[in-house]
Amino acid sequence: MAVGIFDSGLGGLTVHQAVQARLPDLDLVYLADSAHAPYGVRTSDDIYNLTVAATQRLFDAGCDLVILACNTASAAALRRMQESWVPTDKRVLGVFVPLIEALTERQWGDNSPPREVEVKHVALFATPATVASRAFQRELAFRAIGVDVEAQACGGVVDAIEDGDFILAEAMVRSHVDALRRKMPDPQAAILGCTHYPLMQDTFQDALGAGVKVFSQADLVAESLADYLTRHPDKMGRGAPAFLTTGDPARVSSRATQFLRRPISFSAA
């Protein structure tokens, strides 16, 4: 049994770790497209083509279900993939919907019409490509009405995290929060719309203040996946657990080990 997890870099390891903790008997195949990271500054067509290639690699590895643990890929490529590319016996899921379901206090898979929700002012922190896609706002509109979303493109944060420069990443996060607050002084909730950002969650929370509820994706995606597999057990594939990368395996392994503070060994994809 295996489920694929894809990210342009190492951010998806936060999702991998949460899924592993929630579903310890599930084998996971993780693919980092490190050779082409970051995705956040690429065009939508470029992101689509790279995401399709990576997803096909995970299908070839025996995965029938692939989680796009990359918000940029989920925003720029997922809908197009589902409508025109994904084989009928496979599934590709993104990371936005579990987050929005939590924000709007819906049960997993609740597709009832949009309704009023308690939260009215939401800050979205994401990559430039995710912000430009407006995918979060589109998916939110399917589930809630009357919610004001202010998006802040957090350029440079992913690069700093991938380089292991957390001092720079912290400074950038605080700068982006300040910029967001100039547009929306009093958000009620904040969405960390990138799987790298949970590593900076304490900094986001500190900069935003204790009164702002910060939603991070990893645990929400893991819980949503557990529910999905209960309803669709046929989507547990036949692959063996692995960590794959399109980049230099030694370099990516070193960064991943630093990232999660435990040994991680990548192989060439």
- Nearest 5°: the CA angle 194, 198, 199 is 115
Q: Within 10 Å of residue 165's Cβ, how many Cβ atoms?
A: 13
Question: How close are the terminal C-alpha atoms of the chain, in Å?
Answer: 19
Assigned token pair, 268:
């060439």
Q: Where are the alpha helices (DSSP H) in the chain?
A: 13-22, 44-60, 71-76, 78-84, 96-103, 128-133, 135-141, 157-162, 166-183, 201-208, 217-231, 249-260
CA atoms of 47 and 92, how far apart (whole Å): 15
Residue 177 near residue 204, CB atoms below 8 Å: yes
Residues near 177 by Cβ (< 8 Å), separated by ≥ 6? 125, 152, 204, 207, 208
- Residues designated as active site: 70, 194
